[in-house]
Structure 1
Amino acid sequence: MTVSHLLLRALADPADSGGAPPLRTRLAAAAPGATSRRGVVCTVNHNGVAYRSGPGPQYPALGMVNQGQNMDSHARRGSWRSGDLWGGPAGVWISTADLDC
């Protein structure tokens, strides 16, 4: 089987990916602004972005993330989005200026 056949098969057949959704679904979900099962997927657009416990700089910073980090966003309040970081904490807030959604 050629590489192109394997790629086409992975795009179409979830069984080839260990039961995960088809590759095209996973790729689409990673695109900024895409909708996942859990919300809108946002991507951090530069390094050293603080994620916070609430929607504003007055809330404590809980940690930092870098460009390329994805987040399933569930809510927006003003210029802040709340969501769950992929592979990280849930329920954090990040300024919309630091996100591509």
Structure 2
Amino acid sequence: MNKKAIIQLLGLTQRAGQLVTGENLVLKAIRNQSAQFVFIANDASQPTIKKFTDKCKYYQVDNSIVLSRQEISNAIGQSRSVAAIIQSGFAKKFKALTEKIN
């Protein structure tokens, strides 16, 4: 149930224009601290997962590894393994939903 809610909200965030996708753009958003929450695909490569979790930890950005690449891609309509939410309201909702899963 919660995973479905996360996927639906991710699609809504994309349509609202509050989502940054793609590795380079997400890294840039984390570095300039516009990223509020980051989704990393749980089936991404280990170096990718490590790179993004380390960056998020360093810049104190909440992140989650509960969705697969397929789930992220289906939600936003693009093939992506990372996505960053740049609006704080959406980020708070994602944080609450992902904490329920973990």
TM-score (norm 2): 0.31
Greater percentage in helix: 2
For normalisation by structure 1, the TM-score amounts to 0.31
Richer in strand (by share): 1
Bigger radius of gyration among the two: 1
